Amino acid sequence: GKRLSKLERENYNLSTDLQNSLIGLLLGDASAVKRSINGNTYLYFEQGFIHKEYIFHLYNLFAKYCGAEPKISDRLPDKRTNNIYTRVRFFTYSLPCFNEIYNLFYSPTTGKKNSSFKYM
């Protein structure tokens, strides 16, 4: 995917509707990731292939924040069943507009999801 300049990253923002949707998604199984404490946040969405329509719907909501379309790939064999499952996933750019929502859910020191949710 294309790399964004600092100015391009700073020009992204989230509508209130998309912020609220993202909060709901992060309460579920979406993930937000920071590579460093002072870095920006990217979003990660993944579902089994059976839910591909759902992932493509989410991608349509977040497409302007992404550098590439969803990818279909096989996961490693499941440790319990040894079955190989197909997944559909996509990532967003690392953007400052996701940092505030990241801070609602994740510990700034460990990067792990908090057990309690702090609504804005």
Q: Quick one: CA dihedral 73, 77, 82, 87, positive or negative?
A: negative
pTM exceeds 0.85: yes
Which residues, 6 or more positions from 49, have their beta carbon under 8 angstroms from its beta carbon? 72, 85, 86, 87, 88
CA distance 104 to 22: 11
Encode pLDDT of 104-117 as tens digits: 998 877 778 876 66
Encode pLDDT of 33-77 as tens digits: 999 889 999 999 999 999 999 999 999 999 999 999 999 999 999
pLDDT at 31 > cutoff 70: yes
Note the pLDDT of residue 13: 96
**Tokens (6 digits) for 30:** 């979406």
